[in-house]
Structure 1
Amino acid sequence: EEHGILQQIIVCPIDKGYKIIAGERRWRAAKLLGLKEIPVNIKNVDSMKALELALVENIQREDLNPIEKAHAYLELKKNFGLTHEKIAIKIGQDRSSIANTIRLLDLAEDIQELVSRGTISMGHARAILSLKDPVKQKTLGYKIVTDGLSVREVEMIASGRKTFLFSSKKSSDTKVVSSELYKSPQICDLENKLREFIGARVTIKEKNGKGKITIVFSNNSQFENITEKLKTLMKTPT
C-alpha cells in the first residue's frame, strides 16, 4: 500500500473503455487497497495476441505447480503455434525445461495429481516417465509414497537395473494412487468447511508443516463474493 502498484498492467482499447490483458491480480489488489490510480500500458493488439500475452503473464507471475505450467505451455504451443524455443524465450526458461515440463502430461492422471500436490518430486516424475504403461506408473508412484523411494531408486527400477514386481492386473483392479489417500482427515475436514463457507473450491497442500491454501474462482463476481466473506471471517472475534 505504501508504494502502490510498481509494475504496469497491460490493457487494450475496446468499444467502451479498456480490457485488462495482463495484470488483473494487480488491479484487484489495487481495488482492495483503495488505490485511485495505477500505472497502465496501453497496447493495440488483436484478441489472440491479447490471450497470448495474458497467458504468458500468468505463467510468469502465478504460483503454478508443474502440471499447471505444463498445461499452460501446451496451450501456447497448440493454440498460438509457438515452438518450445519461442516459449522458452517468452517465459525466460531454457528450451529443455519447457519440453520436460510438457512431458509431465504423459504421466497417468493419478501421478500428475501427486506431482501437482508436491507429494512426489519432479525428479521422481521424470524417472516414472520412462515407463509407458500407466498401470506401472501408478504402481511405482504408490511405492514412492508408501516406501519413501529415492529418485535414484526409482530410476533404477524404471530402467530395469533393480528388481521390482509390477502388478499384472488391469488398471481398474490396481490400487489407485488417490490424492485423498495422502491427506489427513483433519485437512480434508478443513477443506470441506472452507468450501462450504466460501462457496468455492478450496484445496490445501501440506507437507512437513508447510504448504498453501488455494481458492479457485471463475469470474469477478465470485472473486468479490469470496473477498467479502474473507473480510467477514477476519472481523469475527476469536
Structure 2
Amino acid sequence: MAVMKRSALGRGLDALITMDDLKTGGSSSISEIELSKIQPNPNQPRSVFEEEALEELATSIRALGVIQPITLKETGTDKYMIISGERRYRASLKAGLDRIPAYIKTAADENVVEMALIENIQREDLNSIEIALAYQKLIDNYGLTQEKLSERVGKKRATIANYLRLLKLPAEIQMGLKDKKIDMGHARALISVEDPEIQLALYEQILAEGLSVRNVEDLVRNATEGGKREKNEIAPSRKSMLPEEFNLLKDHLSRFFNTKVQLACNEKGKGRITIPFASEEELEKLISLLDKLK
C-alpha cells in the first residue's frame, strides 16, 4: 500500500479532534485502503445519510478525489472498521472508487464510539436525537457521569443534560425532531410539560399550525403560570378525542407491550399507533412480541 505524507491531511481530522486527548495509547498511520476491506462501525452515532447529499459528495469525489482521509481501526489482517468518515466512504462507493485515503488508528474498543461521536459533533453532522442516544450509550456502556462525559466531549454538563432530556419525550416527538419536523427549541419547550398526552397534542399543533418556538413557549408558560390549568386549555387531550373503543384498544396494547402506546385518529378514521421504546433492548423485546403475533 502506498503511504501518503502526513501533510496531506491539511486542516482535516486533526483540526477537528485532538486524538491524543482520547488516550488511545496506540499508533497511527495514513494509507490508501481498498474499500472492500472496510466495514462501517455498527455503533456509529449517525444513522441518517441523506441520499441527495451523498450524490453531491460522490460527484465532488469523482472530480477532485477524497480530499480528507477517513479514520479507521484495524480489526484484523487487511480488515478495517470506520471510526469516522462513513459519509465519505459511502460517497466513494457511489463514485466508483476502489480505494480511499485513510488515517489508521490503533484504538481500544471502548474508545471507538467516543471518537466517532466527537468527530461527528465537531462537524455538527448528527441530529439532536442521534447526539442524545450517543451520549446515553457512552454513559451506559462505560459508566461515565455527565460531568466526566462533558470533559471527554468538550461540552458543558448542562448541554449534555439538555440532550439527554430529549430521550424522555414520546417516541413520535423524537422522530419528528430527528426528521427535522421540529427543532431543538420546540423540543426543549415540550420537555417542560410533564404530561405526555399534552406533549403529543402540542406537537401535532406545532405541525398543523407551524408554531414558532416562541409560540410554544408562550403556550406552555400560560399553562404553568395560569394556576395549573386543565389539559384542554393547552390543546385538546387525545384521550377525550378518541371513541371509547379506541381508548380500550389503546389500553390493551399498552398492557400487551408493557409500554405507553399512543393512538391517534382523525374524524375520517385515519391515524397511527405509536409504540415507544427507550433502548435497543426494549426494541428487541417489542420485535419478539410482534414475531409471536405472527
Instruction: Pick the TM interval, shorter chain.
Output: 0.5 to 0.7
1:103 has 2:168 as partner: no
2:114 to 52, 58, 73: 52
Match of residue 90 from structure 2: 28
Note if contact 1:12-1:19 (Cα within 8 Å) is conserved in structure 2: yes
Superposed, 1:154-169 pairs within 5 Å as: 154-161=219-226, 165-167=230-232
CA gap of 1:174–1:130, structure 2 versus 1, over 3 A, is farther
Q: 1:103 corresponds to which letter in structure 2?
A: R
RMSD of aligned alpha carbons: 3.6
Task: Indicate the larger mover: 12-21 or 126-135.
Answer: 12-21
CA gap of 1:147–1:160, structure 2 versus 1, over 3 A, is farther
Cα deviation code 1:163-189 (max 9, x no counterpart): 8541599976666686x99xxxxxxxx
CA gap of 1:171–1:84, structure 2 versus 1, over 3 A, is same
1:75 has 2:137 as partner: yes
* TM-score using structure 1 length: 0.59
Q: 1:4 corresponds to which letter in structure 2?
A: G
1:153 has 2:218 as partner: yes
5+ long unaligned stretches in structure 1: 182-238
1:132 to 187, 194, 202: 194
CA gap of 1:28–1:135, structure 2 versus 1, over 3 A, is closer
1:19 has 2:84 as partner: no
Give 1:103 deviation, angstroms.
0.6
5+ long unaligned stretches in structure 2: 1-60, 243-261, 267-294
Structure 2 distance, partners of 1:18, 1:37, is 13
Percent identity between the two aligned chains: 38
Give 1:83 deviation, angstroms.
3.8
Cα deviation code 1:112-139 (max 9, x no counterpart): 2332333333222212212222122223
Superposed, 1:1-238 pairs within 5 Å as: 1=61, 2-22=63-83, 23-35=85-97, 37-61=99-123, 63-88=125-150, 91=153, 93-149=155-211, 150-161=215-226, 165-167=230-232
Structure 2 distance, partners of 1:141, 1:107, is 11
Cα deviation code 1:125-160 (max 9, x no counterpart): 212212222122223323333445413323313423
CA gap of 1:27–1:123, structure 2 versus 1, over 3 A, is closer
CA gap of 1:118–1:54, structure 2 versus 1, over 3 A, is closer
Note if contact 1:88-1:95 (Cα within 8 Å) is conserved in structure 2: yes
CA gap of 1:90–1:32, structure 2 versus 1, over 3 A, is farther
Give 1:13 deviation, angstroms.
2.6
Structure 1 distance, partners of 2:123, 2:231, is 40
Cα deviation code 1:39-77 (max 9, x no counterpart): 322222222222332344445557433222211221122
CA gap of 1:112–1:87, structure 2 versus 1, over 3 A, is same
CA gap of 1:33–1:164, structure 2 versus 1, over 3 A, is same
Note if contact 1:9-1:20 (Cα within 8 Å) is conserved in structure 2: no
Note if contact 1:141-1:177 (Cα within 8 Å) is conserved in structure 2: no
Note if contact 2:201-2:238 (Cα within 8 Å) is conserved in structure 1: no
* DSSP-derived class of the 2:187 partner: helix
User: With CA pairs under 8 Å and 6+ residues apart, which has the higher RCO, 1 or 2?
Assistant: 2
CA gap of 1:12–1:139, structure 2 versus 1, over 3 A, is closer
Pairs aligned (count): 180
Note if contact 2:132-2:166 (Cα within 8 Å) is conserved in structure 1: yes
Structure 2 distance, partners of 1:125, 1:177, is 20
